[in-house]
Amino acid sequence: MHYNECFGCGDDVEGGLHIQSAVAEGMVVVSQFEVTDAHQGAPGLAHGGLLACAFDEALGSTVGNLLRRPAVTGRLETDFRRPVPVGSTLHIVARLDGVAGRKIYVSADGRLDAEDGPIAVQARALFVTVGFEHFTSHGHTDAMQKFRQARTREREDWDINP
């Protein structure tokens, strides 16, 4: 689900990750993360926390695109296999591994600079389906209002009763 003020996918967020995700053949969701100076940790290399964030986004997008229900990350585990340089693009392929009640298991591989590039980062996550009250009771009212207006414009159809 695209939200313009999201640090992971929002178009207008300065220094954000600006990740774009799409469903691809084989029921996977592919995302690209272009690593810029704004994402640096060690000199010239991506910050590990931001790489984890990129996978949180890619995996959250996988849940949203494939199941179309609101869910939040309960657990996220990352393996950093290779350094990811500034200026590179991480090609992330994510899949749905299973659903058990409200629990949704997803995982992803991130390859450097090409769809068949070397694996640099891998992640697994547990998302938990939540009701819309999760956002309305914990988030700011004005942010929720903006989000709802954008959804109405785009006419996205989500299952809101977990």
**Which of the following is catalytic: 11, 12, 37, 56?**
56
Among 15, 44, 49, 74, contact with ligand MYA (rule: CB under 6 A): 74
Q: What residues numbered 13-72 form the site for ligand MYA, per CB under 6 A?
A: 56-57, 60, 70, 72
**Smallest distance, Å, CB 43 to ligand MYA?**
28
β-strands 89-100, 71-80 pairing: unpaired
β-strands 103-112, 89-100 pairing: antiparallel
Q: Tokens for 40?
A: 């640096």
Nearer to ligand MYA, 80 or 105 (CB): 105
Nearer to ligand MYA, 82 or 138 (CB): 138
Q: Tokens for 85?
A: 């340089």
**Smallest distance, Å, CB 44 to ligand MYA?**
27
In 3D space, the residue among 96, 97, 90 whose CA is nearest the CA of residue 115 turns out to be 90
The amino acid present at 51, given as its one-letter code, is L
Q: Is 12 considered catalytic here?
A: no
Let me know: does 148 contact 139? Beta carbons within 8 Å.
no
**Smallest distance, Å, CB 42 to ligand MYA?**
24
- Considering CB under 6 A, how many residues would be counted as binding ligand MYA? 18
Q: What residues numbered 96-135 form the site for ligand MYA, per CB under 6 A?
A: 101-103, 126, 128, 130, 132, 135
Q: Tokens for 132?
A: 């819309």
Nearer to ligand MYA, 79 or 159 (CB): 159
Q: What is the DSSP letter of 83?
A: -
Furthest-apart CA atoms within the chain: distance in Å? 46
10 Å CB burial of residue 57 (0-12, 13-18, 19+) is buried
* Contacts with ligand MYA, residue ranges (CB under 6 A): 1, 56-57, 60, 70, 72-75, 101-103, 126, 128, 130, 132, 135, 147
Which residue numbers are catalytic?
A: 56
